[in-house]
Amino acid sequence: MHYPQRIAVWGLGLAVFSALTVLGAIQQNAKPQVAVPPEPPLEQVLELDADERMAFFNQRIALHCNVCHSSEMIEQQRLTLTQWQAEVQKMIGWGATLPKPYAGLMAEHLSRLYSPEGKPKPQFIKPEEALAEALQPDQELVDSKLASSPQVAERYRSQCASCHGQGGEGNEIGPRLTGRQMLSSPDSFARHIQQGRGRMPAFQQTMTSAEIQSLRRWLLGQSFSWKIK
């Protein structure tokens, strides 16, 4: 059976499994529970050729990894095979739904996609450069007293730190924010925060434009010698 046919069969099995899960919950007058979908046995996965296996494990990343981690965060890791093996085992130990027999193949797949040798040069900026690029909009959008207020740091820690680190340095869940190119564009940064992106929720209803821009300036000041004038 060729790969498209295998995918169709596995997809049909997943659909039937999901339908039965929901039906059973309805019959028991209960809310459907999130269940781990059935996966093909390792023997079948090993029969896939290189291109088929690449597509298969790209699907597994979406199914088992992107539930908690953004694609951008995964791409930033750039680990060796040994490090990816440890990382995959750690994630499974923390509750990732990837079948344990897939662990070794997933680590090999990730090491091919995101090795240290393929790491792109970080596109970071200096705060002074960012402010020079966005000087006028920044002056119009943010009051310096608001940007330097302790409330801004508290707002970041209560709404952003759990996914992006205590100082914007990134963590297991979300990517680094400090020094990012988007900090040089008030409009782009505001749009990102207001509308959300991927698993990141939208904050349009909970943050004012001034509060969003104050967060931008606060992030500019992290890990740098930048000071508000």
Give me the phi and psi of 180, to 5 degrees please.
-75, 150
Which residues constitute the domain of residue 102? 45-120
180, 138: one domain: yes
Average predicted confidence (pLDDT) for the chain: 74
H, E, C per residue of 8-54: HHHHHHHHHHHHHHHHHHHHCCCCCCCCCCCCCCHHHHHCCCHHHHH
Q: Is 226 domain-assigned?
A: no
Taking the whole predicted model, whether its pTM rises above 0.85 is answered as no
**Tokens for 225?**
């010698």
144, 211: one domain: yes
DSSP 69: S
Tally of domains within the chain: 3
191, 208: one domain: yes
The whole-angstrom distance between residue 142's C-alpha and the CA centroid of its chain comes to 28
Q: How far is the C-alpha of 226 from the C-alpha of 154, rounded, in Å?
A: 19
The stretch 150-174 carries a mean pLDDT of: 85
107, 67: one domain: yes
Q: Is 61 domain-assigned?
A: yes
Q: If you average pLDDT over each of 5-9, 13-17, 145-149, which comes out highest?
A: 145-149
116, 133: one domain: no
115, 131: one domain: no
Closest CA to 72 of 209, 199, 161, 193: 199
CATH of the domain at 112: 1.10.760.10
What residue ranges in the chain does DSSP mark as E strands? Answer: none
Q: Is 86 domain-assigned?
A: yes
Instruction: Determine the residue type at 6.
Output: R
Report whether pLDDT(95) > 80.
yes
The stretch 125-131 carries a mean pLDDT of: 63
The stretch 145-168 carries a mean pLDDT of: 82
The stretch 102-107 carries a mean pLDDT of: 94
215, 135: one domain: yes
Give pLDDT tens digits for 47-75: 988 888 988 998 898 888 887 777 777 87
Closest CA to 108 of 90, 87, 86, 85: 85
The whole-angstrom distance between residue 37's C-alpha and the CA centroid of its chain comes to 22
Q: Is 33 domain-assigned?
A: yes
**pLDDT of the residue at 34:** 44
Q: Is 227 domain-assigned?
A: no
Q: Is 229 domain-assigned?
A: no
Q: Is 184 domain-assigned?
A: yes
Give pLDDT tens digits for 26-54: 344 444 444 555 789 999 999 988 888 98
> Which pLDDT band, with edges at 50, 70 and 90, does 18 fall under?
very low
34, 50: one domain: no
